[in-house]
């Protein structure tokens, strides 16, 4: 739209949009400032599960493989203490019986344990997951169950010695 030079005094029908844009920007700023204040919290009460319904059992829990590495460097598989050789053979045996997508092992290490020890256990798990063919793979996840480290299996209580009557 160029400027017209010359003497024709016609009425121009174009709208000047600059004031319209100014008003719209002011309204936008006002709504942006006021909208967080206008939001109110909506609460709803959702009924809980019926009390007489039994809780579903976690089907994968007994099949999970959790390797615990304690602060003194000892290891356990599913809370059963064992040395590294036995750990390797147990993981290999259990993983060989699984399908490829279920080959997952979690490593739970004590937070005070040095990084190299944890990596050594994770490498042991990966090597055990290769199997005899070397093609199978295992997914290793680093789990931190508790801040104080993995839980140890409780030792069975010794029978109390009571004198025979």
User: How many other β-carbons are positioned within 10 Å of the β-carbon of residue 150?
Assistant: 22
Q: Beta strands of 13-79 (E only): which ranges? A: 65-69, 75-77
What are the angstrom distances between the C-alpha of 85 and each of 31, 92, 102, 126, 127?
Answer: 68, 11, 23, 14, 12
Which residues is 103 bridged to in the sheet? Answer: none
For residue 124, what is the domain's CATH number?
3.30.420.270
Going by the DSSP 8-state scheme, the letter that residue 90 receives in this structure is H
**29 lies in a domain?**
no
**126 lies in a domain?**
yes
- DSSP characters for 115-144? HHHHHHHHHHHHHHHHTTTS----EEEEE-
By the 8 A CB rule, do 98 and 92 touch?
no
**Looking at residue 143, what is its pLDDT?**
72
**82 lies in a domain?**
yes
Q: What is the pTM of this model?
A: 0.52
How many domains, in total, are found in the chain?
A: 1
- pLDDT in 10s for each residue of the chain, 165 residues: 555 566 667 777 788 889 999 999 999 999 999 888 777 766 777 787 777 766 656 544 567 888 888 888 888 888 888 898 998 888 888 888 777 777 888 888 888 888 888 889 888 888 888 765 556 677 777 776 666 666 666 655 445 555 554
**86 lies in a domain?**
yes
**2 lies in a domain?**
no
**30 lies in a domain?**
no
Residues 6+ positions from 142 with CB-CB distance below 8 Å: 106, 107, 109, 118, 122
Element (H, E) at 108: strand 104-109
Q: Write out the residue range of the structural domain in which residue 65 sits.
A: 61-143
**45 lies in a domain?**
no
């Amino acid at each position: 739209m160029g400027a017209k030079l010359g003497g024709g005094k016609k009425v121009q029908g174009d709208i000047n949009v600059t004031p319209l844009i100014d008003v719209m920007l002011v309204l936008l700023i006002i709504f942006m400032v006021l909208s967080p204040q206008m939001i109110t919290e909506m609460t709803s009460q959702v009924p809980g599960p019926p009390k007489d319904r039994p809780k579903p059992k976690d089907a994968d829990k007994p099949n999970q493989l959790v390797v615990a590495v304690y602060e003194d460097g000892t290891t356990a598989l599913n809370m059963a203490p064992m040395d590294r050789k036995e750990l390797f053979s147990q993981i290999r045996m259990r993983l060989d019986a699984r399908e490829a997508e279920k080959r997952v092992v979690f490593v739970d290490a004590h937070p005070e344990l040095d990084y190299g020890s944890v990596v050594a256990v994770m490498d042991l798990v990966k090597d055990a997951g290769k199997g005899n063919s070397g093609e199978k793979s295992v997914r290793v996840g680093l789990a931190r169950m508790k801040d104080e480290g993995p839980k140890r299996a409780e030792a069975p209580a010794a029978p109390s010695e009571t004198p025979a009557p």
